[in-house]
Amino acid sequence: MPAEIHQFLCLSDNFGALVHDPATGATAAIDAPQAMPILAALKEKGWALTDILVTHHHADHVQGVAGLKSAFPKVRVVGPAKEASRIPEIAEQVAEGDVVRVGALAAAVIETPGHTAGHVVYWFKSEHALFAGDTLFAMGCGRVFETPMAVMWDSLSKLAALPGETQVYCGHEYTLSNARFAISVDPDNAAMAARLREVAGLRAAGRFTLPTTIARELETNPFLRADTPGVRRALGLETAAPSAVFAELRERKNRG
Ligand code: ZN
Ligand code: FE
Mean pLDDT of the chain: 98
* Among 58, 119, 128, 186, the one annotated catalytic: 58
Query: 188 CA distance to ligand 1 centroid (A)?
Result: 31
Query: 115 CA distance to ligand 1 centroid (A)?
Result: 7
d(CA 242, CA 247): 9
The model's confidence at residue 167, banded by pLDDT at 50, 70 and 90, is: very high
Contact predicate 140/172, CB 8 Å: no
* Among 21, 31, 51, 60, the one annotated catalytic: 60
How many residues in total does the chain contain?
256
Ligand nearest to C-alpha 13: 2
pLDDT score of 1 more than 90: no
φ, ψ (nearest 5 deg) of residue 5: -120, 130
Residue 57 annotated to the active site: no
212-213 and 105-111 beta bridge pairing? unpaired
Residue 51 annotated to the active site: no
pLDDT score of 229 more than 90: yes
List CB-based neighbours of ion ligand 1 within 5 Å. 58, 134
The side-by-side arrangement of strands in the sheet containing 76-80 is 4-10, 14-20, 27-30, 51-53, 76-80, 90-94
Residue 221 one-letter amino acid: N
* Among 56, 57, 119, 128, the one annotated catalytic: 56
d(CA 88, CA 65): 7
Q: How would you label 119-138 residue by residue, b for 16+ Cβ within 10 Å and e otherwise? A: bbbbbbeebbbbbbbbbbbb
Give residue 166's pLDDT: 98
Ligand nearest to C-alpha 119: 1
Where do runs of H (alpha helix) occur along 88-241?
Answer: 149-160, 175-185, 190-204, 214-220, 229-235
* Among 20, 57, 115, 119, the one annotated catalytic: 115
Query: 59 CA distance to ligand 2 centroid (A)?
Result: 8
d(CA 1, CA 16): 23
Residue 20 annotated to the active site: no
d(CA 225, CA 232): 9
d(CA 93, CA 115): 19
Nearest Cα to Cα of residue 107 among 28, 6, 214: 28
Residue 128 annotated to the active site: no
Residue 56 annotated to the active site: yes
Report the percent of the chain where pLDDT is more than 90: 99
Query: 116 CA distance to ligand 1 centroid (A)?
Result: 7
**pLDDT, tens digit, for every residue of 75-132?**
999 999 999 999 999 999 999 999 999 999 999 999 999 999 999 999 999 999 999 9
Mean pLDDT of 12-28: 98
φ, ψ (nearest 5 deg) of residue 149: -55, -40
From first CA to last CA, the distance across the chain in angstroms is 45
Give residue 256's pLDDT: 81
Query: 152 CA distance to ligand 1 centroid (A)?
Result: 14
